Amino acid sequence: MDGFIQFFEDYQLLIYLLVFTVILGFEVISKVPTVLHTPLMSGANAISGVVVIGGILLVRQAEAGDYFSLGLGLFGIIMGMVNATGGFAVTDRMLEMFKKKKKK
């Protein structure tokens, strides 16, 4: 229990951020029309590629000879980046189709 109290004290600002972001997230996306379900999901999916930031941090913080961290970190960066780039690109492709037919 002490650990948790300590943690709460140490990370109070982060916890505030967490709580408010949860509320913000639900408010921002509360009403989604069916037509946008897939693009919203794949767009959000791309955003979950933020984990790539962690991968970069991990690799940059590693020592040059620490091949365990470097190898896994590299793998992490690649996967996170595929998630982010692919997600945004495919969402754009989808939304372009939606737009195309609106002009008609």
Partner 1 sequence: MDIKFLTDIGFLLGSVGFVWGLKRLSSPDTARRGNTIASVGMGLAILSIIFAPLERGDNNYAWVVGGLAVGAIIGYFMAIKVKMTAMPQMVSIFNGLGGACAVLIGMVELRHFYTGASAMTGGQIAISLSALLIGGIAFTGSMLAWFKLEDWLRDNALILPKHSIFNLVLLAVILAMGIYIYIQNIDAGIGMAAIFMLLALLYGVSFVVPIGGADMPVVISLLNSFSGLSAASAGLIYGNNFMLVGGILVGASGTILTVLMCEAMNRSLLNVLIGGFGGGGAASSKGAAGGQVAKEVTLNDAAIQLYYSKSVMIVPGYGLAVAQAQKVCKEIDDLLESNGVDVKYAIHPVAGRMPGHMNVLLAEADVPYPKLLDLEDANAALKNTDMVVIVGANDVVNPAALDDPGSPIYGMPVLQVWEAKNVIVLKRSMNPGYAGIQNPLFFHERTRMLFGDAKATLSKLVSEIKSL
Please report how close the Cβ of residue 50 comes to partner 1 at its closest, in angstroms.
Answer: 4
Please report how close the Cβ of residue 11 comes to partner 1 at its closest, in angstroms.
Answer: 7
Please report how close the Cβ of residue 67 comes to partner 1 at its closest, in angstroms.
Answer: 10
76-83 long-range contacts, CB within 8 A, separation 24+: 76/51, 76/52, 77/52, 79/55, 80/49, 80/50, 80/51, 80/52, 80/53, 80/54, 80/55, 81/49, 81/52, 82/49, 83/45, 83/46, 83/48, 83/49, 83/51, 83/52
